Amino acid sequence: MIKKRSTLSFFIPRRWSPRQEMKSYFTFRNYRRVWLILIVSLALTCLVPLSIITVTHQRIVDRAMNVERILRAERVTSNARRSVGNFLAERMDALRFIVNEVDYEKLSRNDQLENLLKNLTVGFGGISDLGVIKEDGTQVAYVGQFNLKGKNYHNEPWFKQCMASGQYISDVFKGFRGVPHIILSVKAKSPSGDFFILRATLDTAKLIQTVRSYQISDYADLFLINHDGIIQTPSTTYGDGQQKILFNVPAYSARTHAFEIRDLKGRPFVLGYAYILAGETKTPFILIDLKQNAPMGTIWDQSKIKAMRIFYVSVFVILLIVFLSSTYMINRLYMSDSIKAHTLKAAEHKSQLASIGQLAAGVAHEINNPLAVINEEAGYMMDLISMGDSPPDNAELTEHMQSILDSVERCGTITRQLLFFARQFDVKIMSFHPADIISDVLKFFKKEAEYRNITLTVDVSPRTPVIVSDKGKFQQVFVNLINNAFQAMEDSGKLDIEMSPMDPDFVCVTVRDTGCGIPDENLSKIFDPFFTTKGEHEGTGLGLSITYGLMQKLKGKIDVKSKVGTGTTFKLIFPLNIEGESKS
Amino acid sequence: MCSITKPYVLIIDDEKRFATMLSKRLSLRGYLCEVVYDGESGLEMLPRHPYKVVVLDLRLPGLSGEEVLERIKIEQPDLPVIILTGHGNEKERQVCMGLKAHSFLNKPVDLSALVTLFETIIGSESTQPTEGMIES
């Protein structure tokens, strides 16, 4: 029956860490960490550029949108400015025309003035009354809703300004009548040589209507302020009354301007403004166009929304792929490591057996020789009994039997050594002197060294302490290295082993041979599993790899230096206490 | 007169007790044995007697068994040399047979088989090498 995999298993690896005893064979100890690193690095690699592109795109769109808003605000403000300016200029021109074309005498008469007001209302609209004021400030004629004839304006600021500059446009104020209005006035000379002023009151409704006609969006707010920042026409942002705007009054400029601002409440706007001129006459008005940073509903907004949608979908797809691929990779890596670990463990076991076998083969010669002696001694005694002319005397027989016993003792010694040695492979952590182990190992190479005339030198510093380690693994490291050295050396070679304490917590052992050496290009590979320079049937390529693995298990380090034709030196560093080392 | 017919055998082996006992047992079987314990001495002994066969160990102090075999074959190419070693592996066997050793035997050896081999060698006019390893 096929086991159905849950959806979650595609996103989370099946195994996080190997069993304790197998950990040393695996590439990583904690695959969860590797998985997380893989996910984060892959996600960052994909998402960072995508985010940068998206943010950059959004900024470009925002900038383009702002430029568009600013340009639009400038256009609207400029158009509205012309209209408002023309509105005021037309009415000022009408007043100038009247004072130039109509005699002062006629103007001083209410009936004449009324006709003029009618004509102005029909022609221009928005003018609610007309008055003629003498140089002393007395209103000599007035037509309109209020009874203002005879009122004296001598002390009114507008009167003084008009007398001084010849014309005057007031800002919006309520004055005596309590209704918002604007005063337009022009100064003229009567035939008697006295000055007089023709004053018109402008209803603000028409002006407001003119301004509002340019307000084409819910997010735009067009209104007038005076030079003190007091609102003159209703503002959707700041109200209808005579409040002050919540931003600084823009500096005077003859041109229209637009830019981004934040008001005192922190709200962002695009501000377009223009100082209003009525023809050549300065007015107290500044046209303000405030645009909120609201969605423009344009192609820019759509582009932004589309880009964000693509971004979110991409992030989702990338994360999905990153999770799937990382989990798949970690699962595969774990599986591959697991196979490698089991292979290495099996190879290590085989190597142990092989090293015992190798030693056994080495000692076979030593056993066969005493066996051959026993064989010949026993045979000779048989010969004496069966072929001799007389029975052999006891002394002669005793000599041969003693020789047999000596030979048996020789065999026994050798087999005991071999058994003791083989048992060490099962020994776990214990206390021992490293020199003793090396001495035991060298016993098995002694005869071969003699036969091949190889000089063995062991130099142990008297300060070398007892160590606490895995004796079996320690022993196997030296079996492998000395075996390797013997294979690398020709007859009459030299093998030096030096041992000394290193730092307070370590022991250093160097194994130096005068073998063929290792070429530089192979030096970095000699600890790789299955790397061998020997023939197909001469070496497994596992010896040094297993030695490397053993050194890791012993929490030691192994380093190699070699020169072709001169020899190889292995430097091994062991902790004094493998358990203390592991705790630290 | 009898001694003239006895064949000379040279035993070269550093295992002194073994070489001595082998020599004694072969002497009981009618061979005249000379025993030396290293290769150099063996080579020195060669011209002294008309040896019919040489029994040679491989692991010797000084000159190795292979070197001694090579030198014997240079000086007396027709002299049969039997290799008798405590640890004869296939590689060493091939090397020795390549150097024209007559036979390659492992210790401990069955003396009767060894004597039979001697008789075959001495009885035969030809001293062609025997193929393969004779197990004791």
> CB contact, 8 Å: B33 with chain A?
no
Query: Is 60 exceeded by the pLDDT of residue A296?
Result: no
Label residue A500 by pLDDT band (50, 70, 90).
very high
pTM over 0.95: no
Q: What is the mean pLDDT of residues B74-80?
A: 94
Q: What is the pLDDT of residues A190-218, one digit of tens each?
A: 888 889 999 999 888 888 988 988 887 77
d(CA B10, CA B81): 9
Q: What is the pLDDT of residue B1?
A: 38
Å from A503 to nearest chain B CA? 43
Tokens 């190699």, residue located: A560
What DSSP state is assigned to residue B62?
Answer: S
Nearest-angstrom CA–CA distance, B23 and A380? 10
Identify residue B94 by its one-letter amino acid code. Q
**Cβ pair A219, A292 in contact under 8 A:** yes
Question: What is residue A428's predicted lDDT score, i.e. its pLDDT?
Answer: 74
Q: Which two tokens stand for residue A211?
A: 């301004």
Residue A205 touches chain B, beta carbons under 8 Å: no
- Are A532 and A540 contacting, i.e. CB atoms less than 8 angstroms apart? yes
What whole-number distance in Å separates Cα of residue A370 and Cα of residue A406?
Answer: 8
B87 CA to chain A: closest CA distance, Å? 4
Residues 307-366 on A with a CB inside 8 Å of B are 361-362, 364-366
Cα A299 from Cα A278, distance rounded (Å): 38
Which of A421, A435, A428, A416 is closest to A357 using CA atoms? A421
For residue B111, list chain A residues with Cβ-Cβ distance below 8 A.
376, 379
Bigger pLDDT: A357 vs A442: A442
Write down how long chain A is. 584
Q: What is the mean pLDDT of residues A283-303?
A: 78
Per-residue confidence (pLDDT) for residue A220, from 0 to 100: 84
ipTM over 0.90: no
Q: List CB contacts of A41: < 8 A, sequence separation 6 or more.
A: none
Q: Which amino acid is at A169?
A: I
Q: Which among B22, B42, B41 is positioned nearest to B110, based on CA atoms?
A: B22
User: Does residue A286 surpass a pLDDT of 90?
Assistant: yes
CB contact under 8 Å between B18 and A376, yes or no, is: yes
Residue B125 has pLDDT above 60, yes or no: no
Q: Mean pLDDT, to the nearest integer, of B22-31?
A: 93
Hey, is the C-beta of A119 within 8 angstroms of any chain B C-beta?
A: no
For residue B19, give the chain A residue with the closest CA. Answer: A373
Q: Which has more pLDDT, A226 or A215?
A: A226
Size of interface A-B (CB pairs under 8 A): 63
Interface test with A, best of B84, B87, B104, B111 (most A CBs within 10 A): B87
The tokens for A400 are 């041969």
* pLDDT of A498 above 80: yes
**pLDDT at residue A191, rounded to an integer:** 84
Dihedral through CA A34, CA A37, CA A38, CA A40, nearest 10? 160
- B108 in A contact zone (CB under 8 Å): yes
Distance in angstroms (rounded) separating the CA atoms of residues A137 and A158: 11
pLDDT in tens, A231-277: 999 998 888 777 889 999 999 998 999 998 998 888 888 899 999 99
Burial class (CB in 10 A: 0-12, 13-18, 19+), A408: middle
Nearest CA in chain B to A378: B21
Residue of A nearest to B110 (CA): A375
Section B23-50 average pLDDT = 93
Section A536-550 average pLDDT: 69
Q: What is the pLDDT of residue A298?
A: 63
Mean pLDDT across chain A = 85
- Residues of A within 8 A of B85 (CB-CB) are 365
Whether residue A552 is predicted with pLDDT greater than 80 in this model: the reply is: yes
* Chain B residue with minimum CA distance to A402: B17
Q: Per the CB < 8 Å rule, is A373 touching B17? A: yes
Give the gap in angstroms from C-alpha A377 to the nearest C-alpha of chain B: 6
Kindly report which listed range (A114-118, A296-300, A385-389, B44-48) carries the lowest average pLDDT score. A296-300
Q: Give the pLDDT score at A30.
A: 83
Residues 6 or more apart whose CB falls under 8 angstroms from that of A258 comprise A69, A70, A71, A73, A74, A77, A270, A271, A272, A273, A289
SS (H, E, C) A218-274: CCEEEEEEECCCEECCCECCCECCCCECCCCCCCCCCCCEEEEEECCCCCEEEEEEE
Question: What residues in A contact B86, CB-CB < 8 Å?
Answer: 364-369, 372
